[in-house]
Structure 1
């Protein structure tokens, strides 16, 4: 049997699949000696190179979790060295990169992440090809015909070509998600924590075409106008209940999942919310919080694809996020799903 036939045979044995569309970014993480004042010099003590963005992180995490179905990436990159880095990293993880379009007139999106140990990170971002992505660049029916089941889109509010509301009141994201639903794919959506004053309006037009929404508590607050943390940073749980109900009322069809470091709320139409609390993580074990939300989301997609009970999905999702905290980049530290399931059994 030839190599191509062997690959086809392996793919044919895989059940279903998840396509992750949206942001693909090359991250250069610089660990600094200190944060300098303007005009001063700081040493770069260490550098890490990673591939990030909502779609890139989630699809990579799914591969690390050992997802047995097909995985594909869809979006735009530049026809440049960074674009090759993205494709190579994903392809080496067994992810189909045929849906990544290299735009000759754009550079690949990239971020310079400045990290001072013990302090919050600072991000310098250039959108490049991500900013050029529109619904015309992705064909959901192609993935549906290939046997994929779930269509993830992330991050809304960091994809201007999809976020922009057109004169007809629709956005590229709403059209893309509608096309995915019509093709028979289950749509799953994530946001980024943007300060855009039009946040609620832009995400709102996409919600009626979203089967599952997987977002953090601050994004839920911005999408609904509900205050979810008090002035001291404490979680306002009644506010999260209200936010979840508002998201369902706005059109989310099957489930709104709101996660925070402390807790997860799973809202579904006609059912009482399911609440699961995370276990504490020793602050000394936290290398970086970047990517923890994506790890949570990847585990949710894994469980949705496998039709697991909500409680099981939330438990492993909390576990995946906790494991991610120990990694330097957004996708480091993600174990195989068997590890998360074993860990979950030990805690029960």
Structure 2
């Protein structure tokens, strides 16, 4: 019987630099403080899951660089007894991201070096050796080799996901937020072989061609249902979940759900790096345990909120019992009507 979660994709190092206000082009700003942490979808999701449940079996499928940064992330994973590193391969340079965190408006901007992630392909996946119930691959649009075209399946990733499902593994994907127009070509093929699609409102909008924010940046609630329905129609077999700072929205093919985010004082927010992955970890954990979509969204919302309480991507994420209490007892934002 399968159990646990396998996380595959990008492993990188986040070099977090805090500034008080982002400069205009050709202008200078002072770096107030610097901090290094493990980053990328694999690090963020795996460590969040390990914090949620230290007994949950977690398998990592990734490339780690043959350099100091690679040793840093490998040692970081090794601190967790429930993380299986047997499928990790050392090769090339470790990807890294300079994360510029604006202390004033609490936003972050990313400058990424892809390193060995460009070579991460289907050969990295020993599907017959995976014991996990769910395989989560991220991020679509950032895994160059898997985003390549495939004549039969559309993309190499779609082919991989199909083969994983044939092995009895449930599949999940997340997408990176990029300012290019590749979404409608690269994303739909993967959705055909996806059980759980967990994305933010920008990624959902770009993937479906449906505007989900007004020019004033407010959510277009009336379009959320259409985006959920469209992604489900594209082939997602179980759950489509769209998360935004204000709320999250889910659809399981029968029922639509809308849950407001937890209301956190801005003074308590130390960083927003990895909040989306912390949300995904909450969904994946709950799905692995057989919870309903509604209950899973509650756990995911609390997981994302708790991640904001620390500067890095995962150390703020709480255990499952704390997360359940957080959503039930913390103040929430106003509900967003979207039906």
- TM-score, L = length of structure 2: 0.91
In structure 2, C-alpha distance between the alignment counterparts of 1:296 and 1:171, rounded to whole Å: 26
Cα deviation for residue 166 of structure 1 reads: 3.3
Cα deviation for residue 225 of structure 1 reads: 0.2
User: Following superposition of structure 1 onto structure 2, how do residues 208-219 of structure 1 map, counting pairs within 5 Å?
Assistant: 208-219=192-203
In structure 1, C-alpha distance between the alignment counterparts of 2:126 and 2:184, rounded to whole Å: 26
Which of 300, 324, 327 matches 2:283? 300
1:164 to 2:152 alignment: no
Cα deviation for residue 169 of structure 1 reads: 5.4
In structure 1, the residue corresponding to 2:86 is in which secondary structure? Answer: strand
- Per-residue CA deviation, residues 217-261 of structure 1 (Å, 9 max, x unaligned), is 111100100000111111111211001101111111111111112
In structure 2, C-alpha distance between the alignment counterparts of 1:344 and 1:36, rounded to whole Å: 37
In structure 2, C-alpha distance between the alignment counterparts of 1:197 and 1:41, rounded to whole Å: 31
In structure 2, C-alpha distance between the alignment counterparts of 1:244 and 1:186, rounded to whole Å: 20
Aligned to 1:204: 188
Which of 221, 239, 243 matches 1:237? 221
Distance 1:221 1:34, change over 3 A: closer
Q: Looking at CA atoms only, which structure, 1 or 2, has the larger radius of gyration?
A: 1
Aligned to 1:45: 32
In structure 2, C-alpha distance between the alignment counterparts of 1:288 and 1:179, rounded to whole Å: 37
Aligned to 2:335: none
In structure 2, C-alpha distance between the alignment counterparts of 1:77 and 1:217, rounded to whole Å: 30
Contact residue 155 and residue 190 of structure 2 kept, 8 A: yes
Contact residue 114 and residue 121 of structure 1 kept, 8 A: yes
Which of 229, 235, 259 matches 1:251? 235
Aligned to 2:319: 336
Cα deviation for residue 140 of structure 1 reads: 2.0
Distance 1:67 1:208, change over 3 A: farther
- Using the TM superposition, name which of 161-170 and 208-217 deviates more: 161-170
Cα deviation for residue 61 of structure 1 reads: 0.2
Q: Which runs of no fewer than 5 residues in structure 2 stay unpaired? A: 332-339
In structure 1, the residue corresponding to 2:70 is in which secondary structure? Answer: helix
User: Following superposition of structure 1 onto structure 2, how do residues 12-91 of structure 1 map, counting pairs within 5 Å?
Assistant: 16-32=3-19, 35=22, 42-91=29-78
Cα deviation for residue 299 of structure 1 reads: 0.7
- Per-residue CA deviation, residues 80-138 of structure 1 (Å, 9 max, x unaligned), is 111111111111122111211111xx201011222342143332210011111111111
Contact residue 239 and residue 250 of structure 2 kept, 8 A: yes
1:221 to 2:205 alignment: yes
In structure 2, the residue corresponding to 1:251 is in which secondary structure? Answer: coil
Q: Which runs of no fewer than 5 residues in structure 1 stay unpaired? A: 1-13
Aligned to 2:309: 326
In structure 1, C-alpha distance between the alignment counterparts of 2:104 and 2:41, rounded to whole Å: 25
**Alignment length, in residue pairs?**
329
Contact residue 59 and residue 71 of structure 1 kept, 8 A: yes
In structure 1, C-alpha distance between the alignment counterparts of 2:25 and 2:227, rounded to whole Å: 41
Distance 1:16 1:169, change over 3 A: closer
CA RMSD of aligned residues (A): 2.0
Cα deviation for residue 56 of structure 1 reads: 1.4
Cα deviation for residue 37 of structure 1 reads: 6.3
Distance 1:15 1:164, change over 3 A: closer
Aligned to 1:6: none
In structure 2, C-alpha distance between the alignment counterparts of 1:41 and 1:211, rounded to whole Å: 46
In structure 2, the residue corresponding to 1:205 is in which secondary structure? Answer: helix
